[in-house]
Structure 1
């Protein structure tokens, strides 16, 4: 009996890399953006992120804010993200219509991993008006593993992505009202992708496929900060898209039976290449002093997710390219927050945000079970002495319940079968930072 037609064999080979780099474990921010680059900014849910004069960590959103440093300054921040995701599979079938839900786990609550997100900033004034800055951030990242036994294993098992950015910036205070800044960025990205391949006919007709790849990329940012009158601050910051040409290897295990008759699948270990463009980020912010002790902050952040339209993975062998569609949509995040100077040593913060997901219902998958998010944050800064301060923040993120409905109508699912699953997700984020002036 012939299990796969020729088109299905091509899709069968490609199913291991049927991956969106927006996997479920990026529960903190929509898509797979990591937005905790500053415990200070997290305390107000990023309200005022491109306009604040609080410290140099806001330079991630607007490099002009390195001008906040009038002395040599070091800011180090870390965010511990604790995501939660409960998955309930309503139905799942392999490419031949065999019921996977009847013989495999249909629930999962441990497929997402906790993560520590570090950020570092260093600023050195080189004149009365100009500051040089260096920063290290993780702008995008995720980590998650469903395991290779769950009923949706032909759609996804493991996905991991890490993008590390090293930036070199200059900020210049034009006058008391205007500061400008720009940076160049060097990015290093690593990705790990995995899924089961085959059919649920017997244990010998299922194998594993895993990809590991890396790439370097380059980007830039620029921004302007304005204070048209005392107590009113405005800011605009832009971070560019980053192009990556990934190179790596695909390795298969337990595919001996699949490569023989009647499957003749041709699953060979080989090298792969693919190009991905990570999105741009535009941040518009305002801060208004409501009183000598109270500041209102607002932000609107647009992420250009439409650059992530899909993958075209090239196997350096006879295997056909794997073309996969994401069709992400550009989206905005909106936030509002308050900062209150409780005393000479203690400053308190709180904020709320609405973070819209780039994933559409028709393209949501086991690798993109993404939904709109709502944040509620609070935090504070305590001045330990004239040179050192410590900052904390806590953010709770609620994510709308979503359903993944891969009903087999997409050609790219021809070798994976169908999947209908409900997702309930949330996240808690604890951020700590220290700011030192020398």
Structure 2
């Protein structure tokens, strides 16, 4: 399994990431989870609970491994001042994942996961009307999370985890209407998680998880083709800092009949930690920091799983995901609004192998009159329209 995890981690580092949750959080941690709207905190577990609720590992036997991939194809249109519109470029962004869980005894489980918790991929033509703000923004973020699960009683378990988050940021824009500026930097930040699973009856269970904030300080280089003194200011060492938000997640699963489970999850994310984007070149920000003033958000999800036969499961889910971006502080990097996700999927499981497939349609609610603060202090208005994405995922697991 070590070779699988290493290979998936390399793929994650080399693959562009696309935001598919409000802000630039990512919840595409398994195909089964996608089909269920992410509601895997309190229901029957698989190895991907390393990401969603490590306390639920205590429901697994022996050793289990999983790997898979989610492909995301997004699209959005931006109209500036009601006159000029631009479509985001057609791209397919790939989000791999890999997990391993091992039972140590009657009371302890160890797990490790390699997956994405944050990601962004926004790209327009280099000469579009908003290029002086951005024409490309990318975040590649890979989380490696060793976790420990402990069964305290027959009905109550807890999970503890450490997260190493590799964070790579890249931005491209034009300067003085003519020249290109590219800034890129990366860093590794550390965080922790605490989770619990409580099942007072065989038909009801609860999951709770807290993830800490993570401070990252990307450092790298700025490159520009600007000449003379302007070029001197725009070429050199680059650095910045950002606090990735903390979050609380709560899930409740009900099993009204043996074949059917229904789970409702709610997540509160502390996006207010993202106050500004301050990218310094040679110790100075040429245009000053960009104030973000994001707000904390709620994500509400419901998912149902029905056993068609002993080997086949049918799944469906729905998510409403709030955006942290205020209309008066909108951003071409994240040209979006609140989102709705509609998902479905199918799972097959044998004695040792299992295969999960999931599809999600993500609909972004139009945003009219978004205020964009551009260089020089000017404010222009924009409409974000026709935003959506198709997500297709597959996971393969083996138990031994």
- TM-score scaled by structure 2? 0.91
**Offset at residue 42 of structure 1 (A):** 1.4
Q: Tell me which residue corresponds to 1:70.
A: 61
Distance 1:158 1:71, change over 3 A: same
Contact 1:167 1:185 in 2 (8 A): yes
Contact 2:78 2:382 in 1 (8 A): no
Q: Tell me which residue corresponds to 1:17.
A: none
Q: Map 1:18-37 to 2 at 5 A.
A: 26=18, 28-37=20-29
Q: Distance in 2 between matches of 1:268 and 1:232?
A: 58
**Offset at residue 27 of structure 1 (A):** 5.1
The runs of 5 or more residues in structure 1 that have no matched partner are: 1-24, 92-100, 200-205
Q: Residues 74-94 of structure 1: CA distance to partner in whole angstroms, max 9, x if unpaired?
A: 011211111121233345xxx
Q: Distance in 1 between matches of 2:384 and 2:38?
A: 30
**Offset at residue 273 of structure 1 (A):** 1.6
Q: Tell me which residue corresponds to 2:213.
A: 241
CA root-mean-square deviation: 2.0
Match of 2:345 among 374, 379, 389: 379
1:398 is aligned to 2:363: yes
Q: Which portions of structure 1, spanning 4 or more consecutive aligned residues, are displaced by more than 4 angstroms?
A: 317-321
**Offset at residue 265 of structure 1 (A):** 8.0
Q: Residues 111-157 of structure 1: CA distance to partner in whole angstroms, max 9, x if unpaired?
A: 35211111111011111221110110111111222122111111211
Distance 1:248 1:321, change over 3 A: farther
Contact 1:314 1:321 in 2 (8 A): no
**Offset at residue 318 of structure 1 (A):** 6.0
Report the number of matched residues. 384
Q: Tell me which residue corresponds to 1:97.
A: none
Distance 1:176 1:134, change over 3 A: same
Contact 1:297 1:337 in 2 (8 A): yes
Q: Map 1:131-150 to 2 at 5 A.
A: 131-150=109-128
Q: Secondary structure at the match of 1:362?
A: helix
Q: Distance in 1 between matches of 2:254 and 2:162?
A: 30
Match of 1:84 among 61, 75, 84: 75
Match of 2:281 among 298, 301, 315: 315
Higher RCO, 1 vs 2 (CA within 8 Å, ≥6 residues apart): 1
Distance 1:245 1:392, change over 3 A: same
Q: Residues 252-278 of structure 1: CA distance to partner in whole angstroms, max 9, x if unpaired?
A: 11x22xx46xxx686341112211111
Contact 1:369 1:403 in 2 (8 A): no
Q: Tell me which residue corresponds to 1:288.
A: 254
Distance 1:220 1:376, change over 3 A: same
Q: Secondary structure at the match of 2:240?
A: strand
Contact 2:80 2:380 in 1 (8 A): no
Contact 2:247 2:267 in 1 (8 A): yes
**Offset at residue 248 of structure 1 (A):** 1.1
Contact 1:240 1:280 in 2 (8 A): yes
Q: Secondary structure at the match of 1:139?
A: coil
Q: Distance in 1 between matches of 2:392 and 2:261?
A: 23
Q: Distance in 1 between matches of 2:148 and 2:206?
A: 19
Q: Distance in 2 between matches of 1:319 and 1:362?
A: 23
- TM-score scaled by structure 1? 0.83
Contact 1:62 1:238 in 2 (8 A): no
Q: Distance in 1 between matches of 2:265 and 2:326?
A: 24
Q: Distance in 2 between matches of 1:151 and 1:308?
A: 26
Q: Secondary structure at the match of 1:144?
A: strand
Q: Distance in 1 between matches of 2:380 and 2:77?
A: 19
Q: Secondary structure at the match of 2:127?
A: coil
* Segment drifting more, 315-324 vs 340-349: 315-324
Q: Distance in 1 between matches of 2:52 and 2:352?
A: 24
Q: Tell me which residue corresponds to 2:8.
A: none
1:129 is aligned to 2:107: yes
**Offset at residue 404 of structure 1 (A):** 5.5
Contact 1:50 1:59 in 2 (8 A): no
Distance 1:345 1:356, change over 3 A: same
1:328 is aligned to 2:300: no
